[in-house]
């Protein structure tokens, strides 16, 4: 099998060359579904390095876009992109076009995994050893704080701690500890001063912003949403009819019914409806985790 190092990508020598790299990768054309399929089959059947290179370079913008989402961890974006490119190459090597997914959808798993592993290796707080739940907390805490309008550089309000702990299934003290460790980590590298030719100088993140939607990202997000919908539908089969109805009416509709309304439908107490809802949700989560695990096995096959 062709080594990933043979899949040539533009040079990325550090923060000072980041602007040049971002401009260069925009020159690579976006592939149509048919073009992508034919290239993937050429690589899969003949190990054609040119086909692999076209698949990789056409998705470099997707890697850069994903890497931007991890720039709050105080690590050089150039390094994040480089690690994401390694993940992309691995995804190209293992991609099977006949599965029916676009490469962007499949490669996103590899790109994110590669970047996350790099971040975990780089942060001393996780070198001490963390559980899967702590890793999940580590990579979701910033986003959840933003959604709660919590200050980035301060302790969390007890109500926010409780909500985050409940949503992620971790003890409240772990949320407090992780937040304090991440505050200590700092984001100094976000403000590195750079020059951009005739356009003047500024902080590097100023040059990275691109409000135009990436075609690959749009396709990937749409297909990922479809995958999640299919996973949910499959996971719902683990519930009986009553559990499906109660969970749907309580959590999966725009106007959820109250416990009182459902208790009248089934002629049971509100507490009993609540118990059924909780049990059904737990069963659904386990089914979703099982299905996701099966998909990850394919991704790592």
Mean pLDDT of the chain: 77
Distance of CA 21 to the CA centre of its chain: 23
Q: Give 271's pLDDT tier (boundaries 50, 70, 90).
A: very high
Mean local confidence (pLDDT), 53-58: 94
Query: How high is the pLDDT of residue 201?
Result: 47
Query: How high is the pLDDT of residue 187?
Result: 40
Q: Say whether pLDDT at 50 is over 50.
A: yes
**Which of 61-75, 182-196, 251-265 is least confident?**
182-196
Task: Characterise 149 by phi-psi region: left (phi > 0), alpha (psi -120 to 50), beta (else).
Answer: left
Sequence-ordered list of residues with C-beta below 8 angstroms from that of 163, at least 6 positions apart, any chain: 148
Query: How high is the pLDDT of residue 1?
Result: 44
Strand locations in the chain, DSSP E?
193-195, 201-203
Tens of pLDDT along 177-233?
787 777 655 443 434 444 444 444 444 444 444 444 555 555 556 666 666 777 788
Query: How high is the pLDDT of residue 296?
Result: 56
Query: How high is the pLDDT of residue 179?
Result: 78
Domain ranges of the chain: 4-122, 131-187, 237-299
Strand partners, 191: none
pTM of the model: 0.52
Distance of CA 47 to the CA centre of its chain: 29
Tens of pLDDT along 145-186?
878 876 655 678 888 888 888 888 888 888 887 877 776 554
Confirm or reject CATH 3.40.50.1370 for domain 4-122, answering yes or no.
no
Per residue, the 3-state secondary structure of 19-65, as one string, reads HHHHHHHCCCCCCCHHHHHHHHHHHHHHCCHHHHHHHHHCCHHHHHH
Confirm or reject CATH 3.40.190.10 for domain 237-299, answering yes or no.
no
Task: Give first-to-last CA distance, the chain, whole Å.
Answer: 14
Query: How high is the pLDDT of residue 234?
Result: 83
Query: How high is the pLDDT of residue 138?
Result: 78
Query: How high is the pLDDT of residue 73?
Result: 74
Query: How high is the pLDDT of residue 194?
Result: 42
Q: Which residue did the predictor score with more confidence, 26 or 195?
A: 26
Query: How high is the pLDDT of residue 88?
Result: 94
Pick from 290, 287, 250: which is nearest to 266 by CA?
250
Mean local confidence (pLDDT), 63-82: 86
**Which of 78-82, 128-132, 277-281, 283-287 is least confident?**
128-132
Query: How high is the pLDDT of residue 183?
Result: 65
Query: How high is the pLDDT of residue 188?
Result: 38
Please state, in angstroms and rounded to a whole number, the distance separating the CA atoms of residues 146 and 157. Answer: 13
Most distant CA atoms of the chain, gap in Å: 73
Query: How high is the pLDDT of residue 300?
Result: 45
Query: How high is the pLDDT of residue 124?
Result: 54
Burial class (CB in 10 A: 0-12, 13-18, 19+), 144: middle
Q: Which residue did the predictor score with more confidence, 256 or 67?
A: 67
Tens of pLDDT along 244-253?
899 888 887 7
């Amino acid at each position: 099998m062709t080594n990933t190092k043979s899949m040539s990508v533009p040079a990325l020598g550090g923060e000072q060359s980041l602007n040049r790299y971002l401009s260069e990768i925009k020159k690579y054309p976006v592939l149509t579904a048919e073009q992508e399929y034919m290239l993937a089959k050429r690589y899969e059947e003949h190990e054609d390095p040119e086909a692999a290179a076209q698949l990789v370079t056409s998705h470099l913008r997707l890697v850069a876009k994903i890497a931007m989402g991890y720039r709050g961890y105080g690590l050089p974006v150039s390094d994040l992109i480089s690690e994401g490119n390694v993940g992309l190459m691995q995804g190209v090597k293992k991609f099977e076009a006949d599965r029916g997914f676009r490469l962007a959808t499949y490669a996103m798993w590899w790109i994110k995994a590669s970047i996350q592993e790099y971040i975990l290796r780089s942060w001393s707080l996780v070198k001490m050893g963390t559980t899967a739940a702590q890793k999940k907390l580590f990579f979701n805490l910033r986003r959840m704080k933003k959604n709660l309008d919590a200050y980035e550089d301060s302790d969390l309000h007890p109500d926010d701690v409780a909500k985050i702990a409940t949503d992620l299934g971790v003890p409240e003290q772990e949320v407090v500890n992780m937040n304090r460790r991440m505050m200590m980590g700092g984001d100094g590298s976000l403000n590195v001063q750079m020059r951009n030719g005739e356009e003047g100088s500024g902080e590097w993140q100023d040059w990275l912003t691109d409000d135009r939607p990436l075609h690959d990202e749009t396709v990937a997000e749409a297909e990922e949403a479809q995958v999640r919908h299919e996973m949910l539908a499959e996971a719902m089969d683990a519930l009986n009819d009553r559990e499906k109805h109660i969970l749907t009416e309580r959590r999966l509709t725009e106007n959820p019914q109250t416990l009182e309304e459902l208790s009248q439908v089934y002629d049971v107490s509100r507490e009993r409806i609540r118990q059924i809802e909780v049990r059904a949700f737990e069963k659904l989560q386990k089914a979703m985790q099982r299905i996701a695990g099966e998909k990850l096995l394919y991704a790592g096959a």
